Chain A
């Protein structure tokens, strides 16, 4: 609590402590959305830069710091997706444990799925990736996007409808 009050008052040491405490959480959250470790590192810095500038708006007594961070990180990731949409294929930087040798068929499927996901608008993309691949609860995704859990569900359904169509056009049946 003292740390959060210090941060809200503009104390740089408190900011550094909070940065060190939460940087991995923010990095992982952003990586879940952008699927690229270099971009996730840059966006972690961007998130904390936005957090630093907004310190005076944070209420240490009422505020949920982790939730606030996730919200800012999600906005930074959305801005990144809007800038880079259709430029970068989605899932290149997977964690080591998730990386296995792919058969030609699997690689083709992954390519088609990547292309279909990249066709989604950034807002649908975030909801789809977090809900369908990362299996984050709708409430938590809603908190990060500033919308209700029901609105997240609607976005996920819309994303699934678009993905089904895109994948069916590409010859993939879920």
Chain B
């Protein structure tokens, strides 16, 4: 493999696929960004689901914990 082969491939690819150049997005992306930010803020992190699953399993296997939990709530 040498530079000549790389240049040949470059020529071939550029003949078939034009470079992007100065393309710009056709719409303002900020409103979508704002939606994504507000969705992200309300999304529950995965580790919270892990904690919830762990607590549920603990209560399922050790139901005697339920009165103790209710007492502390």
Contact A49 B36 (CB under 8 A): yes
Alpha-carbon gap, A21 to B17, bound state (A): 28
Q: List 5 A-B contacts (CB under 8 A).
A: A40-B25, A99-B18, A132-B9, A135-B19, A163-B13
A-to-B contact residues, CB < 8 Å: 16, 19-20, 23-24, 27-28, 31-32, 35, 37, 40-41, 44-45, 48-49, 52-53, 90-91, 94-95, 97-99, 106, 109-110, 113-114, 117, 128, 132-135, 156-157, 160-161, 163-164, 167, 172, 174
Contact A24 B21 (CB under 8 A): no
Majority SS of interface residues in chain A?
A: helix
Count of CB-CB pairs between chains A and B under 8 Å: 111
| Residue from B1, B5, B12, B21 in contact with A97 in the complex, judged by beta carbons closer than 8 Å | B21
Cβ-closest chain B residue relative to A100: B18
Alpha-carbon gap, A35 to B20, bound state (A): 8
Contact B32 A95 (CB under 8 A): no
| Residue from B5, B15, B33 in contact with A48 in the complex, judged by beta carbons closer than 8 Å | B33
Alpha-carbon gap, A109 to B12, bound state (A): 9
Contact A98 B25 (CB under 8 A): no
Contacts A44-B25, A132-B6 hold; do A110 and B32 have CB atoms under 8 A apart? no
